[in-house]
Amino acid sequence: MRIVVLFDLDGTVLTFDGASPGPGRVAMRRAVRDWVDLEDATSGVRFAGRTDRAIVRAMLTGAGYRGDLDLAVEEGIARYLVLLADEVRRRPYLPVGDVTGAVTRLRARGACVGLGTGNVREGAAIKLASAGLLASFDLERGGYGSDAEDRSELLRVAAARCAQASFAGAEVVVVGDTRLDVEAARAIGAKVVGVAATVSAREELEEARADAIVEACGEALVAAIEAVTSRRS
Ligand SMILES: [Mg+2]
């Protein structure tokens, strides 16, 4: 199976205990508020499927921030990472199903397993480590919110990094949980397997026409990836 499988993180590989907002969103909100003294800077900003930098930019713009936006985004991300590390100590992330098992089986079948996530790379590492999943992924084989604010662009970066590991020209499968994962995957000509833990996530992925949908990472996911890659498009 000479394919590249790129996993999204939040909602696909990682979940959290308790009610929303999760640790990442809490840290992001605190990072921006703490700095620009905004009241509810996140209202109206959808986090799911977006890249970290794009989220900070949208929060600042939405709150009418008038300073140097690029500089503010960099500063906001730096603060976010410190707060995130602190937040996950109290409330670590959890795997969505048998993530390590799925990755191990995909690699055993010859796939290059990477990440395609809107998280900046350091944030991805903090979240994965808190869920005990850092050793399950090779962070060199990934595209991150620190590589691009646009999701399809970071998937291109991730696929290129896998291509360097002798996977040039291999078919790409994106595993994600939102419409934005599906759209970004289509933009690079990739297949998509959706991970839907909730009814609304499933509806969104069905509407976006994911090639297959499973409930969690595990054997069903590996089977779905095999099915969509053996199918002619
Ligand atoms: Mg996600």
Q: What is the pLDDT of residues 77-93, one digit of tens each?
A: 999 999 999 999 999 99
Buried b (16+ CB within 10 A) or exposed e, 207-231: ebebbbbbbbbbebbbebbbebbee
DSSP three-state, residue 125 = helix
Q: In which band, very low, low, confident or very high, does the pLDDT at 58 lie, cut at 50, 70 and 90?
A: confident
Give the mean model confidence (pLDDT) for residues 46-56.
84
Residue 25 Cα to ligand 1 midpoint, Å, equals: 13
Residue 127 Cα to ligand 1 midpoint, Å, equals: 13
Q: In which band, very low, low, confident or very high, does the pLDDT at 29 lie, cut at 50, 70 and 90?
A: confident
Q: In which band, very low, low, confident or very high, does the pLDDT at 44 lie, cut at 50, 70 and 90?
A: low
Residue 167 Cα to ligand 1 midpoint, Å, equals: 25
Residue 118 Cα to ligand 1 midpoint, Å, equals: 8
Residue 149 Cα to ligand 1 midpoint, Å, equals: 15
Listed in sequence order, the residues at least 6 apart from 230 whose beta carbon sits closer than 8 Å to its beta carbon are: none
Residue 13 Cα to ligand 1 midpoint, Å, equals: 8
Token representation of residue 31? 């990072």
